[in-house]
Amino acid sequence: MIKTDNLTKKYGELFAIKGINLELKQGDLFGFIGPNGAGKTTTMRIISTLLEPTWGEAYVCGFSIYNKPKEIRRLVGYMPDFFGVYDDMKVIEYLEFFAAAYRINGPARRKRCDEMLEVVDLDFKRDAYANTLSRGQTQRLGLARVLLHDPQVLLLDEPLSGLDPRARIEMRNLLRRLGQTGKTIIVSSHILPELADICNKVGIIDRGVMNISAEVSDVMKQVRDRIVLQIRVKDRFEAAAQELEKMELVDTVSLGDGVIDVTLVENAGDFSPIATGLVQAGFGLVSFKEEEVNLESAFMALTKGVGAKI
């Protein structure tokens, strides 16, 4: 659905982005993470054909940004970080105006606008003036606008920026629902936790260079090369810890608050014999699971001391 090859934008001697390589398939929800000024907006504008690269190539649904910009614009919904609304327009009028621009005419226009208001949970504001909406409501209106022509690709530039905690949760839930419809979505943010629980792929960009671009599961594997188990037993915690230390697959054991943390040796593979060994030794297992690593921890580990040098 989206592919970039050595995508680069240069202003004089300054690289806004340098050598961006990205490949997303249908249904991917890609979290584009980086500090302000890292190159996220530049990349999204090039993909949406609003900005030409200095060199490199980008394809959307098989169309080149150089040869088929009109076709790409029909397939893409681009929502900038900040966008204006018309002060003298009601919400429904605002959507109908843009629906007309997309050549959605007749009864289908009002029907489509009503549907999009329901999708973004804004139908109760249909007759309110656009300039009276809160920041969160304005963001949802902007999302409704880019969904009018049913694009296959969504490029959402910092849609969670400036929202209060409740509005951020509502927007994340909305993005999660859109991801389940099969659309390919790029969502940018400079705050990782905003996207950690909704994306299946993540890219980390800094000073124009993509340091990491991978499946979330692969990012987790890069962070931890050894499996860590969290084990709870009914009683005799210290005895269980001593029993675990004897096992061949175990490297280190530590006792926490009712939990025994067990780090396995490298390439441990199947660790089911550990559970079997505890049961056979007479210990009652309450829980036995692999420790989860969240995306924020992965981000901090992988980017520690990393900076793009251009």
Q: CB of 27 within 8 A of CB of 152?
A: no
DSSP structure class, residue 231: E
| pTM for the model | 0.76
Answer yes or no: is pLDDT of 28 > 50: yes
| 74: number of Cβ within 10 Å | 13
Produce one character per residue of 296-308: b if its CB has 16 or more CB atoms within 10 Å, e if not.
eebbeeebeeeeb
- Cα 90 from Cα 105, distance rounded (Å): 19
| Amino acid (one-letter) located at 72 | I
pLDDT per position as a tens digit, 120-147? 999 999 999 998 999 889 999 999 999 9
Q: Which of 189-198, 271-280, 281-290 has the lowest mean pLDDT?
A: 189-198
List residues bridging with 148 in a β-sheet. Answer: none
- Cα 98 from Cα 95, distance rounded (Å): 5
- Cα 202 from Cα 214, distance rounded (Å): 6
